[in-house]
Every structure is written in structure tokens, then in C-alpha cells.
Amino acid sequence: MNNETIEWLLQGEPWVEYRTRVDLLEQPLNDPKVIAARKAMLTNPKIQTLLAELIDWPGTVLNSHKSASQSFHKLEFIAELGLNVNDTPVKKIVDKVMERQSEQGPFQLPTNVPVHFGGSGKDTWAWALCDAPVVLASLIQMGMHHDPRVQKSLEYLNGLLCENGWPCTVSPELGKFRGPGRKNDPCPYATLVMLKVLAHVPELHERKSAKIGVETLLSLWDESMERHPYMFFMGTDFRKLKAPLFWYDILHVLDVLSHFKWAWKDKRFKEMLNLVESKADGNGRYISESIWTAWKDWDFSQKKVPSKGLTLFVQRISKRNNH
């Protein structure tokens, strides 16, 4: 990546500038420019809007995990940017999230599974393996890793691992609900978000669970024409560049895999990365190919000109891989 692209990113919104300084330039957190960018990020109207929404946690009852307006996705986004429990009002938000811990360990969200899908059709506090890991990864990134409640959740969710990845699993409150697919198949999205949890706990990077999870995603990529467990495809839509990194798509998968150093050498990882990098313009900038309408005010939610936010996400993956 050239200096011109770095300069261009530094002209971006405060969150882009902050993460560029920390992730791409590797400037220390006590560097005056990093401190200034972080301060500007915290007072930025868009970040303030997200915080105002999250203080009302948990927000709307969960009806689709894919919906980009869900509170748990927004929580993960601010955690990814580096907001933590020392920032107001993040501590209050985290306290609200952790108020609702299930007996098993995972943190609950208000959920409604229709009767015809095997649920009760009523609003219920529950968890599923397509939301609990996202909440957990957020709490870990926000500085709650050593809290016993977080440890309990981590231990339980990690223990749900099967030989071929993480299955489609829901809490007892949701009855017999299961996604569309064979019971013994791994759920690609559950496996992705569980790996996201492990990505933020360096001491778990070499564990069996991380190795199995990474292999599951890489082999699904390798067999993307034949295997589509739980209707998760790795076709045309999967390969479109899209931000933020919420659902099952190429950037999200690469971003999570790029935390595991031993995955970088794998030819399947390189294949995915090469595909993404081939989409850059002459300056190493990227244009969104698909957008979340719920994020229409953000620079990655248009398909006309290169996006600083999207470019930062891709360049961060490339930088990890080239270390």
C-alpha cells in the first residue's frame, strides 16, 4: 500500500483515521495523534448515534440475525473500532448486556421464533449460536475478557464444537428450532463468529477448536460449488465487498481467518485474499459492491467511489498477512 493511500485514509472520518494509525501505521496508543483521533472518534456524531441506540439495549426483538440494524451487530462494530469499558457510556451498555446471562453461560437477547419454525411464537429471552458469539466477542474486545461471567460464556460456547465446526445450536427456550439443513452439518456462520471470539483470545489461537474452525471455513471455500450447509453459499453475493463485517461474506471470513497466523500460508486463504485484492484500483482503494441500507449514512454504503472505511478493512487484512 502506498503512502498516498495512507494519506487518503488519514483524511477520513475520525474512526478511519484512528484505526489507520493503530492498525496500518502501528502507532502506539499514547501517540498524541492517536489520542487526538480517538477523542474525535468518540465525539463523532455517527459514533454518538450508535452509542445512543445501544444505551437502549437490547433494542428491538430479534427477528433476523442477518439484519444489519440489530443491536448486537452495532455492539460488535463499536468494539471492533476500539471503544471499551473506560469510555462513557460503554460501561453502562456492557452492564446491560451482561445483566441477561443464561444458566448455560451465553448472554441472552429478546428473540421471537415463529411456531412454524419450531418456536413458541412469543418474545423470549434466549441465545443462539448466531448471536451469542458476536456478543461475547464484543465484550472481550471491550475489556471484559477476565470477568468470570465472560469466561463462563466462552467455556460453554467453545464446548459446543463438533468434529467439523460449530453446529446450529439454540438455547432451551427456543425449543426445537434449527436452521434449514442437515443436523450433522456445521453452521458456517456460527463457526465464523465462534472463530471471531477465539481470534480475540490469543492464548486460544493454537487450540484444537481454532484449528477445526479455520479448516471448516477453508474447506467450505474449496468446495463452494458443492457444499452449502444451512443454505450458506459462497457464490457471487458472498464474493462481493461489503462493510461493516456482519454476515457470511468474503471480507468477514478473511478478516477473522487473518487473525490466525498459521492460516496465512494456506493456499485456500491466499486464493480468497488474491480475489479480494484483485478488486483494488491502481491506488489500492476499494469500492463497495454490496451495501447494508441500514448504514446508508456511512461512506461504505455507496457503490460509486472508493470507500475509506472499506479500504481500511481490506488493507488491515492484507497487512496482517504480510507481517
Residue range 82-109: average pLDDT? 96
The model carries a pTM of 0.94
CA 184/CA 257 separation, integer angstroms = 23
Q: Which three cell numbers stand for residue 275?
A: 480475489
CA distances in angstroms from 199 to 17, 34, 84, listed in the order given: 23, 24, 17
CA 209/CA 171 separation, integer angstroms = 21
First to last CA, the chain: 13
Percentage of the chain exceeding pLDDT 70: 92
Say what the pLDDT of residue 251 is. 98
Nearest one of 153, 207, 162 to 187, comparing CA atoms: 162
Say what the pLDDT of residue 233 is. 73
312 Cβ neighbours under 8 A, 6+ residues apart: 9, 12, 16, 19, 20, 23, 24
The average confidence (pLDDT) of the chain is 92
pLDDT digits (tens, 9 = 90+) for 143-192: 999 999 999 999 999 999 999 999 988 888 877 666 666 777 788 999 99
Least confident of 21-30, 37-46, 61-70, 282-291: 61-70
Contacts 24+ apart (CB under 8 A), 117-121: 117/177, 118/174, 118/175, 118/176, 118/177, 118/178, 119/174, 119/175, 119/177, 120/175
Distance of CA 164 to the CA centre of its chain: 21
pLDDT digits (tens, 9 = 90+) for 26-42: 999 999 999 999 999 99
